[in-house]
Amino acid sequence: MKKNPIVIGLVQALVLVGYISLVVQLMRSGLTEREPTFLTMLLILTVFTTSALISGTITLGYPVYLFWKQKEFKLAIKSVVSTAIWLSFFISAAITFVITT
């Protein structure tokens, strides 16, 4: 079966947007109007760092597998570029939605 980097990028971008949406929803439900404490700031930075790790794994995990194990260098690079393009599209769509509503 031929692997299509456009589809790979789309799936990775959709998973990443879904993950980010989940983190945003969890953070919004936990926000309150009181003064942030040391533990609150520590938790926010820990969530941010962990989220960066998970996002990097979602975005680069399969391309790294293709690069190292499958020796499909071009497909790995095309997958990363495709993911970046799809994410740019989703960001543009979100900005357009926010501006028009």
Q: What is the pLDDT of residue 44?
A: 87
Q: What is the pLDDT of residue 32?
A: 65
Q: What is the pLDDT of residue 58?
A: 95
Render pLDDT for 45-82 as a digit per residue (tens, 0 to 9). 999 999 999 999 999 999 999 999 999 999 999 999 99
* Distance (Å) of CA 2 to CA 7, 84, 98: 11, 21, 38
Q: Does 36 score more than 80 pLDDT?
A: no
Q: How confident is the model at residue 9 (pLDDT cuts 50, 70, 90)?
A: very high
